[in-house]
């Protein structure tokens, strides 16, 4: 049995209720791989609900989820991030989301990202388009980096790993109107899809972070690749670049500047 886009929308909205009801309360906060890689009991509650619903309605499907890892099963694969933006959530910052994607044969077919605090449900079906609360969305038409507003994020081990995206951030900061950091990769991609941001890049993510948002951005007209311009942004080592067609090549060029070129204004 195959899910429909409405199935994913319903699941994401139901999980969003869990997040919204728990927001602003005191939480049991722990760390995983690093001190800034947080997890709360709400992450587990949301994931437990989603995995239970998927297993009940679509038995045998594999699931890759942030807290539980990869389950055994057949080819259809669900990619589940029950709370994308845990650090924000734990600190009372209302920027976070539920991210669900469904893939067959290694290709993401359906994607939904739900922001429960704004009641914004971004959704896409491969080949059919992207929507925000069932209204079509499209990327911006910004033509130059100098007119653009970008968004990015940083890996959890940025304190100790020199491959931390700070050099790229510095390059774009002097080429654009600004670079933002929301703290939810899924929402970053959806904001590109809706034309709120003009481009997004990030390194060393997990597939469940960007599978749904990547499809939504692409279906809204974005060019979505890895940082080398290749189509595969879900396989290790994960990196992603999403921008409107005018800015994507310009962003690639900045990402591949040498240090001396990065400081050259000519």
CATH number of the domain encompassing residue 226: 3.40.190.80
In this structure, are 220 and 256 located in the same domain?
A: yes
Task: Point out the domain boundary residue: 108, 136, 164.
Answer: 136
Q: Is the pLDDT reported for residue 175 higher than 80?
A: yes
- Does pLDDT of 217 surpass 80? yes
Q: What are phi and psi of 115, to 5 degrees?
A: -100, 100
User: CATH number, domain at 123?
Assistant: 3.30.540.10
Average pLDDT over residues 189-193: 99
pLDDT score of 259 more than 50: yes
Q: What is the domain range of residue 93?
A: 5-136
- Is the model more confident about 263 or about 98? 98
Report whether pLDDT(32) > 50: no
Beta bridge partner(s), residue 80: 65, 100
pLDDT (tens digit per residue) in 44-87: 999 999 999 999 999 999 999 988 888 776 689 999 999 999 99
pLDDT value of residue 99? 99
Contacts of 192 (CB under 8 A, 6+ apart): 139, 151, 198, 199, 200, 217, 220, 222, 242, 243, 244
111, with CB counted inside 10 A (0-12, 13-18, 19+), is buried
How many CB atoms within 10 Å of residue 182?
20
Band of the pLDDT at 145, cuts 50, 70, 90?
very high
Regarding whether 161 and 129 lie in a shared domain, the answer is no
Clarify whether residues 29 and 114 are in a common domain. Answer: yes
Task: Round the average pLDDT of the chain to a whole number and report it.
Answer: 91
Sequential DSSP letters for 186-246? HHHHHHHHTTSSSEEEEES--HHHHHHHHHHHHHTT-EEE-TTS-S--SSSSPEEEEE-TT
Mean pLDDT computed over 136-148: 99
pLDDT of residue 222: 99
Whole-number Å distance between alpha carbons of 162 and 211:
26
| Whether residue 122 is found in the same domain as residue 234 | no
Please determine, for residue 98, whether its predicted confidence score (pLDDT) is greater than 60: yes
Top-confidence residue, 66 or 109: 109
Q: Residue 37: pLDDT band by 50, 70, 90 thresholds?
A: very low
Confidence category of residue 258, pLDDT binned at 50, 70, 90? low
Burial of 62 (0-12, 13-18, 19+ CB in 10 A): middle
Q: State whether 23 and 55 are in the same domain.
A: yes
Tell me which of 132-136, 192-196, 236-240 is least confident.
236-240
How many structural domains compose the chain? Answer: 2
Q: Are residues 218 and 243 in the same domain?
A: yes
Task: Supply the pTM of this predicted model.
Answer: 0.91
Q: Angle at the Cα of 47 (from 44 to 49), degrees rounded to 5?
A: 110
Distance CA 78, CA 100 (A): 7
* Cβ pair 187, 236 in contact under 8 A: no
Q: Give the helix/strand (H/E) hosting 164.
A: none
What local confidence, expressed as pLDDT, does residue 20 receive? Answer: 97
pLDDT at 25: 79
pLDDT at 170: 94
Helix axes 41-57, 5-22, angle to 10 degrees: 160
């Amino acid at each position: 049995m195959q899910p429909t886009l409405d199935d994913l929308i319903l699941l994401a909205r139901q999980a969003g209720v869990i997040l919204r009801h728990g927001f602003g309360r005191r939480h049991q906060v722990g760390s995983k791989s690093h001190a800034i890689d947080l997890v709360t009991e709400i992450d587990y509650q949301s994931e437990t609900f989603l995995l239970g619903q998927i297993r009940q309605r679509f038995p045998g499907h594999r699931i890759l989820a942030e807290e539980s890892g990869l389950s055994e099963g057949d080819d259809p694969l669900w990619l589940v991030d029950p709370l994308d933006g845990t650090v924000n959530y734990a600190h009372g910052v209302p920027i976070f989301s539920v991210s669900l994607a469904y893939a067959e044969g290694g290709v993401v077919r359906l994607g939904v990202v739900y922001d429960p605090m704004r009641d914004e449900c971004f959704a896409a079906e491969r080949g059919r388009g992207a929507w925000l609360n069932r209204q079509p969305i499209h990327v911006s038409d910004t033509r130059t980096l100098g007119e653009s507003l970008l968004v990015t994020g940083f890996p959890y081990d940025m304190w100790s790993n020199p491959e931390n995206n700070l050099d790229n951030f510095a390059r774009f900061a002097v080429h654009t109107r600004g670079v933002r950091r929301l703290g939810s990769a899924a929402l970053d991609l959806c904001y590109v899809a809706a034309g709120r941001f003009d481009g997004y890049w990030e390194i060393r993510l997990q597939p469940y972070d960007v599978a749904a948002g990547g499809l939504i951005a692409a279906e809204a007209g974005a060019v979505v690749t890895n940082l080398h311009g290749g189509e595969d942004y879900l396989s290790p080592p994960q990196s992603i670049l999403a921008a409107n067609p005018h800015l994507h090549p310009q962003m690639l060029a900045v990402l591949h500047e040498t240090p001396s070129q990065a400081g050259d204004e000519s």
